[in-house]
């Protein structure tokens, strides 16, 4: 799932304007925030992928 600016602001409990302001006035903080959301997206996609792999294995390998 890609997070929009509105999603990020809602999760952080700030306004989108504040997040936009941080992008220019506090680039280090903004970079940390962006990195955290990228990690969150990666973790979510890996979880979904592992569920798909497990389901595929369960469908094609008979129980022993």
Q: What is the pLDDT of residue 1?
A: 72
CA distance 52 to 41: 17
The parent domain of residue 49 ranges over 5-60
Per residue in 23-55, pLDDT (tens digit) is 999 999 999 999 999 999 998 888 888 888 888
> Can you give the pTM of this predicted structure?
0.71
Q: What is the pLDDT of residue 28?
A: 97
Number of domains composing the chain: 1
Q: What is the pLDDT of residue 10?
A: 98
Contact 19, 5 (CB under 8 A): yes
Q: What is the pLDDT of residue 58?
A: 83
Structure-token match 């890996």, residue found: 46
Q: What is the pLDDT of residue 56?
A: 87
Written as six digits, the tokens of 1 are: 């799932």
């Amino acid at each position: 799932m890609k997070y929009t600016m509105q999603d990020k602001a809602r999760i952080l409990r700030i306004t989108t304007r504040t997040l936009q302001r941080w992008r220019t006035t506090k680039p280090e903080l903004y970079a940390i925030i962006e990195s955290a959301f990228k990690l969150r997206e990666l973790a979510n996609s890996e979880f979904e992928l592992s569920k798909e792999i497990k389901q595929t294995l369960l469908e094609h390998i008979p129980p022993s």
